[in-house]
């Protein structure tokens, strides 16, 4: 199946960046797609108002804009849970895939696929950020507000960022994806400073809930290509979904990981159970009436987000961790946004706080 290459139905271009090279490159790529010049992103948002499903329409429309805020931000994490101290490179937002559980459906103020054309500002901000924190170590990724590689054949961010990080001693880049778009990574100079990671799930969940994303087997074949090209590899089981028969299906995915990638190349595997902002439930029911994820027994956590009851999450994490460690006890497994208690009950230890988890992850990838 592979990953379908994106082609927008309409392009909006912010007037102030219409002559930048990146904008020209994208417009040349799709010469027959209608283009509308706008003075403000809000005009593009207004154009979607009459659409029956503005979120779906936003995924088919591309806004090429100027990033006026910082390109680099802290991952917001979630209140009262241990997060991993990640930094987000905000070069694009939204995604052409359509996962039922995607929080971006209710999160983005501009619900269009948006890419920022002022790449010189991005690189200048990266230079200044990394040189001002010479004594620190940073893990940065492009895959928090979009999929890092889904749109990369068009945007080319990996071609820009992977060689940039190759000679940085105080940072690592993580490209997080569900896709198989790794062709462009094959000839890049990466010097081991990029982790390419895949979001994985049980195959029935992929089929029902991850619309437009390729099957797990294809993701793992792409991971194998990156591993053979010398990249460090990461995996994220997130969101784990509880359903009858989940054990068998998730166990199969764990087995498949180790058939495709040498454990030595695995930087980390994270586990996160289904959770979402309360307002997303209505959007999921409306946009994805076939989805079964909101039918589970979910209760508001300490951050107000519905989650599975603690014993269910603990049991899922414990099992996944056990299956992974059966293959290689040295693979680093961590939990995404969980409490100290769940860490201890599920994995038998806890980093205790964000600073320690962050340090442990850094150690996995420091030169
Ligand atoms: S791949 Fe990620 S960003 Fe894209 S729709 Fe799915 S959850 Fe959202």
By alpha-carbon position, which residue is closest to atom 3 of ligand 1? 146
- Percent over 70 (pLDDT), the chain: 98
Closest CA to 64 of 102, 46, 98, 91: 91
Choosing from 56, 60, 91, 104 the residue with most ligand 1 atoms within 8 A of its CB, the one to mutate for a pocket test is 104
Report the residue among 90, 103, 113, 146 best suited for mutation to probe ligand 1: largest number of ligand atoms under 8 A from its CB: 146
Residue 319 pLDDT > 60: yes
Q: What share of the chain is helix, strand, coil (3-state, %, to 5)?
A: 40, 20, 40
List pLDDT tens digits, range 218-272: 999 999 999 999 999 999 999 999 999 999 999 999 999 999 999 999 999 999 9
Instruction: Provide the pLDDT confidence category of residue 280 given band limits of 50, 70 and 90.
Output: very high
Which DSSP symbol is given to 249?
H
Cβ contact 216:206 at 8 Å: yes
CA–CA distance, 32 with 266 (Å, rounded to integer): 42
> Which numbered atom of ligand 1 lies nearest the CA of 103?
8
User: Which residue owns the Cα nearest ligand 1 atom 7?
Assistant: 102
Second-level CATH architecture of 66-110+117-365: Alpha-Beta Horseshoe (3.80)
On the question of pLDDT at 1 being above 60, the answer is no
Calpha distance 317→250 (Å, rounded): 11
Mutate to test the pocket of ligand 1, among 95, 103, 105, 115 (most ligand atoms within 8 A of CB): 95
pLDDT at 318: 98
Asked whether residue 328 carries a pLDDT value surpassing 70, the answer given is yes
For residue 320, pLDDT beyond 70: yes
Angle subtended at Cα 256 by Cα 293 and Cα 241, rounded to the nearest 5 degrees: 10
Nearest-CA neighbor of 240 among 204, 201, 210, 208? 201
- What is residue 272's DSSP assignment? E
Buried b (16+ CB within 10 A) or exposed e, 93-120: bbbbbbbbbbbbbbebebbbbbbbbbbe
Domain extent listing, the chain: 66-110+117-365
Pocket around ligand 1: residues whose beta carbon is below 6 Å from it?
A: 95, 97-99, 102, 104, 146-147, 178
DSSP secondary structure letters along 38-52: ESSHHHHHHHTTT-S
What is Dmax (Cα atoms) for the chain? Answer: 57
* pLDDT over 80 at 287, yes or no: yes
- The answer to whether 284 and 100 have CB atoms below 8 angstroms apart is yes
Return the residue whose CA atom lies nearest to atom 2 of ligand 1: 147
Query: From atom 8 of ligand 1, which residue's Cα is the shortest distance away?
Result: 102
Q: What is the pLDDT of residue 302?
A: 85
Predicted confidence (pLDDT) per residue in 258-274, tens digit: 999 999 999 999 999 99
Mean pLDDT calculated for residue range 328-348: 96
Residue 130 near residue 111, CB atoms below 8 Å: no
Q: For tokens 């592979």, what's the residue?
A: 2
pLDDT tens profile 121-176: 999 999 999 999 778 999 999 999 999 999 999 999 999 999 999 999 999 999 99
- Span 311-335, average pLDDT: 97
Q: What is the pLDDT of residues 182-202, one digit of tens each?
A: 999 999 999 999 999 999 999
Taking the centre of ligand 1 as the mean of its atom positions, its distance from the CA of residue 209, in whole angstroms, is 10
Chain segment 55-91, per-residue pLDDT in tens: 999 999 999 999 999 999 988 776 678 777 889 999 9
Q: How far apart are CA 90 and CA 177, in angstroms?
A: 15
How confident is the prediction for the chain on average, in pLDDT?
Answer: 95
How many Å is the Cα radius of gyration of the chain? 20
Model confidence at 297, pLDDT cuts 50, 70, 90, reads confident
């Amino acid at each position: 199946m592979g990953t379908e290459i994106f082609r927008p139905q309409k392009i909006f271009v912010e007037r102030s960046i219409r002559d930048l090279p990146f904008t020209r490159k994208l417009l040349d790529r799709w010469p027959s797609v209608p283009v509308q010049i706008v003075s403000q992103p809000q005009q593009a948002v207004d154009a979607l108002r009459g659409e029956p499903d503005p979120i779906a329409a936003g995924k088919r429309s591309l806004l090429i804009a100027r990033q006026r805020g910082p390109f680099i931000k802290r991952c917001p994490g979630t209140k009262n849970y241990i997060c991993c101290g990640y930094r987000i490179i905000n070069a694009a937002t939204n995604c052409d895939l359509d996962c039922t559980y995607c929080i971006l459906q209710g999160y983005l103020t501009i619900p269009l696929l948006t890419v920022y054309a002022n790449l010189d500002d991005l690189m200048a901000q990266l230079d200044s950020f990394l040189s001002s924190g010479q004594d620190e170590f940073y893990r940065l990724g492009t895959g928090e507000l979009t999929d890092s590689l889904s749109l990369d054949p068009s945007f080319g961010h990996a071609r820009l960022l992977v060689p940039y990080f190759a000679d940085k001693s105080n940072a690592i880049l993580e490209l997080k994806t569900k896709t198989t778009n790794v062709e462009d990574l094959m000839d890049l100079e990466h010097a081991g400073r990029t982790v390419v990671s895949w979001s994985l799930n049980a195959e029935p969940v992929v089929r029902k809930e991850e619309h437009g994303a390729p099957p797990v087997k294809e993701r793992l074949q792409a991971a194998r290509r990156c591993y053979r090209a010398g990249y460090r590899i990461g995996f994220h089981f997130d969101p784990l979904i509880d359903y009858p028969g989940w054990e068998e299906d998730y166990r199969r995915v764990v087995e498949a990981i180790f058939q495709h990638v040498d454990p030595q190349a695995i930087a980390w595997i994270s586990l996160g159970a289904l959770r979402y902002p309360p307002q997303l439930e209505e959007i999921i029911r409306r946009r994805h009436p076939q989805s079964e994820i909101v039918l589970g027994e979910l209760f508001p956590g300490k951050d107000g987000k519905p989650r599975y009851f603690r014993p269910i999450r603990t049991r899922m994490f414990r099992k996944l961790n056990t299956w992974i460690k059966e293959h290689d006890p040295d693979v680093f497994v961590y939990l995404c946004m969980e409490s100290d208690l769940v860490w201890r009950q599920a994995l038998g230890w806890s980093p205790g706080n964000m600073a320690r988890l962050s340090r442990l992850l850094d150690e996995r990838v420091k030169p």
